[in-house]
Structure 1
Amino acid sequence: MSRKPKALLVMNSGTFADQFDSTRLERLGKVVDLGADPWTDSLDGAELTERLSDVEILLTSWGVPRLDAARLERMPKLRAVFHCAGTVRSFVSEELWDRGILVTNGADANAIPVAEFTFASIVLAGKKAHVLSNDARTFREDWSYTTRRGELGNIGRVVGVIGFSRIGRRVVQLVQQLQDVTCLVSDPHADPRAVAAAGGHLVPLAELLPASDIVTVHAPALPETRHMIGAPELQAMKDHATLINTARGSLVDTAALEAECATGRIVALLDVTEPEPLPADSKLYDLPNVIITPHIAGSLGTETRRMSDAALDDLERYLTGRDLLAQVLHEDLSLSA
C-alpha cells in the first residue's frame, strides 16, 4: 500500500465542528494521514514544529491564519491547500504562489446557497413583501398601505444582474423559472454567448439600471469595483425599484445609499454592508424601505459541509492524478473574489 500524505485541518473550532463530522473525517482519513490530532486553529505554537515539518496537505476554512513566509518556512513539505470555504484572499501570500503550492477553494459550492437566497429575495421583491411587512407594523388594519410601494407582482418584471460571476450566472438561470421575466446582465468581462445561454441579455450598466425593477449585485470586491454603485447609479434606478446586495458591502457606497433610501424612492435588501455590521446609529436601520440581514446568504451550518465535500472530491482527484475541479490560480484573483 502506498504511503498516505500527512495532512492537517486548519480553521477555527466552530467551523471545524460544523464542516467535519465523523463521516467526513472518516472519508478524509482513508486518503491522508491525519495523525493523532487532525485539527488546529493556529500554525504558530512551538508544539506544532515537528508536525508542521512533515505536513504535505492543508485543509483550511474560516479562521485559517495567513500563510506568509514565516509560517511556510515551518512547512517545507507543503504542496497543496484545499480550502473548504469561498475566497482565498485572506490567507494566500506571494510566498505561497512563489513556492508553487496548489490551492483550491469551495466557491462553486458556496455559490449555491447565495444564489438560492438571492432568487428568493427577487421573488419576494416582486411582491414588495419585505417592505410591506414593515409597513404593516405602522398601518396595521388599514390595508391601503399596499398601494404605497408601486406595482406588485412578478410577471413582466425586468431583473438586472450586475456581475456574471459564479453566483450571478446561477441567479440568471434561476430567474428563468419566473413567467415572462426579462433578465439583463452587466459585466465587462462576460462572454455574450454564455450570458445568452443562461437566459440573460448582456447590456451596459447604464442601460440596465433604469430598465430594471430589481437590481441584484454579484461582482467581486476589487479595487476597481469599490463603490461601483454610488449616487449616480442609485439615482438612475426606477422609482420603487429594489436593490439587492448579497455580494460585498464595498460594492455599494453606503452614504449614497443612505441618502437615496431616505427619500423612500427605492427599496434596498442588504445581506452585506460597509462597514459590517453597520454602526448602531446608521440611518439604514430605521428606514422602512431598507431590509438588513446579518450576512446569512452564504453557506451556514450544515450547508458548509457541501464545501467540505467539494474539497474532499478535489483532494481525491489530486491524489489520483486527475484534473482538479476548483483550482485557484494566482492570476484568477485579479477578476474574482
Structure 2
Amino acid sequence: MKPLKIAMLQSKHFTDRIFTPAHRERIGRFGTLTINEIEGNPSPSLAAELAEDADVVITSWGCPPLDAAILDRCPKLGLVLHAAGTVKPILSPEIPARGIRIGTANEALARGVAETALGLAIVSLKNMWQLSRNTREGEWDKQRERVRELYEVTVGIIGAGLSGRHLIRLLRQFEVRVLVSDPFVSDEEIGAMGAVKADLDTLLLSSDVVSIHAPSIPETDRMMNARTLGLMKDDAILINTARGSLIDENALVAELRKGRLWACLDVTHPEPPDAGHPFRSLPNVTLLPHIAGAENNGLQRIGAYIADEVERYAGGTPLQGEVDVSQLYRLA
C-alpha cells in the first residue's frame, strides 16, 4: 500500500494520555501523521481542517460526529479508527454511505473491564471491604466466617460481548461454574467458551456473583429491577461495570437496605450520583468512579491497539476491531 496520510483529531490531552512516543512512531511508519496539538475538544471546523485529504482518521473521546462537512474534506478516507469505546458519538450516516470502514478499541477497553470485574468478585467474596473496615476499628476476626473463595461458586455473566467473553476466559483459571445470559449468542458458542447458557431468571436464582456486561440498548434498560433483583440469592454479589441505565437504582437501593446483597458499582445513572445518594452511604455498596475500562497507564493499551490496527490496514490484513454498523443497535 502506498504511504498513508493519517490524522489524529482528538485533543492533545487524550493523545498524550493514550499514545506514547513509541505508538506515534509506529503509526508514522506507514505515511505522514498529523496530530492535533490543541487542548480541548476539537470543533467540527478544526476536525475538518485536520482531516484534510487523510486516508486514515483517528478519533477518541470528545471528537465531533464525522459528518458530510468533515468527510467532504477527505474524499480518499478509507478508515476511521476510534481510540475509545463505542463509535456511536462519532458515527454519522455518511460514514457507511461512503463505504468508509470504522473500527474501535473496544477490545482493549474490554480487557480492563473484565479484569476489574474479576478483581471485584475476588475481593467481595473474601469480604475484604467489611474486614478492612473492621480491622481499622480495632477488630481482627469479626466477620471472618463470611469469607468465601472463588472456588465451587457460580458466577453469572449477563452479556457475552467483548468484556463478558474476556471475563469467561479469566474465570477458566478458577474452579467455578459460569452461567451466561445473552440472547444473541447460541448455546453451542457459549459452551465452546467453557460456560453454560442460561436465561436471565435462572442465572439470577443460581449465581453467587452476578456481573453485568450487557450493552445499553432499549431492551436492557433497567433490566435489573425489583423483580429481577428479588430473584438473586441472599449474600449474592452484584457487579456493574457496564452502564448505570441497566439497573433500576431505586429498586437496588430497596434491596440493599434489606442487607441481602452486596453491590459493586463502577457505573451509575447519572454519573456521578448526587452527594446524598444512598449509594454513597449504604454499608453494602462499593462505589467506584467509572474506572473499569482504562485509566492512566491502562489507556496506553488503547494506543498500542490502534497502532496495531493501522499496521493491519496498511498491510491489507483484516482489522481486529472493525465495527459492523448494521449490528450497532445491539452493541455497547
Task: Give the letter aligned to residue 162 of structure 1.
Answer: I
Please give the residue correspondences for 1:1-337 in structure 2 after superposition, counting only pairs within 5 Å: 3-35=2-34, 37=35, 39=37, 41-45=41-45, 51-134=50-133, 136=135, 140-141=138-139, 143-147=141-145, 150=146, 152-179=148-175, 181-337=176-332
Higher deviation after alignment, 316-325 or 243-252: 316-325
Gaps of 5+ in 2: none
Residue 50 of structure 1: how far off its partner (Å):
5.6
Q: Are the counterparts in 2 of residues 43 and 71 from structure 1 also a CA contact under 8 Å?
A: no
**Matched length:** 330
- SS of residue matched to 1:54: coil
Cα RMSD for the two superposed structures? 2.1
Percent identity (aligned): 37
Q: 1:188 to 1:135 in 2, by over 3 A?
A: farther
Aligned-pair CA distance for 1:20: 1.7
Tell me the amino acid that sits aligned with residue 270 of structure 1. L
- Structure 1 residue 155, shift from structure 2 partner: 2.6
Q: How many Å apart are 1:214 and its aligned residue?
A: 0.8
Q: Distance in 1 between matches of 2:79 and 2:255?
A: 47
How much has 1:233 moved relative to structure 2? 0.8
SS at match of 1:92: coil
How far did residue 38 of structure 1 move?
5.1
In 2, Cα distance between the equivalents of 1:259 and 1:135? 25
Farther-moved stretch of structure 1 (210-219 vs 123-132): 123-132
Q: How far off is 1:211 after superposition?
A: 0.9
Q: 1:260 to 1:136 in 2, by over 3 A?
A: farther
1:228 and 1:276 mapped to 2: Cα distance? 19
Residue 33 of structure 1 aligns to a residue whose secondary structure is: strand
206 and 325 in structure 1: CA distance in 2 versus 1, 3 angstrom threshold: same
SS of the equivalent of 1:53 reads: coil
Q: Distance in 2 between matches of 1:9 and 1:311?
A: 11
What amino acid sits opposite 2:86 in the alignment?
T
Q: Distance in 2 between the 1:93 and 1:256 partners?
A: 36
- More off after superposition, 57-66 vs 75-84: 75-84
Secondary structure at the aligned position of 2:245 is classed as helix
- Give the drift of 1:271: 0.7
Conserved 8 A contact 1:266-1:289: yes
Match of 1:160, as an amino acid? G
* Structure-2 separation of matches of 1:278 and 1:135: 26
Secondary structure of the equivalent of 2:235?
coil
Alignment partners' CA distance in 1, 2:120 and 2:48: 48
- The alpha-carbon deviation at position 308 of structure 1 amounts to 1.8
Q: 1:256 to 1:80 in 2, by over 3 A?
A: same
| Stretch of structure 1 that moved more, 325-334 or 288-297 | 325-334
Shift of 1:191: 2.1
Q: CA deviation at 1:51?
A: 4.8
Normalised by the size of structure 2, how large is the TM-score? 0.92
- Give the 3 Å change call, closer, same or farther, for CA 38–132 of structure 1 in structure 2: same
In 2 relative to 1, CA 152–242 (structure 1 residues): closer, same or farther, beyond 3 Å? same
* C-alpha distance 187-230 of structure 1, shift in aligned 2 (>3 A): same
TM-score (norm 1): 0.91
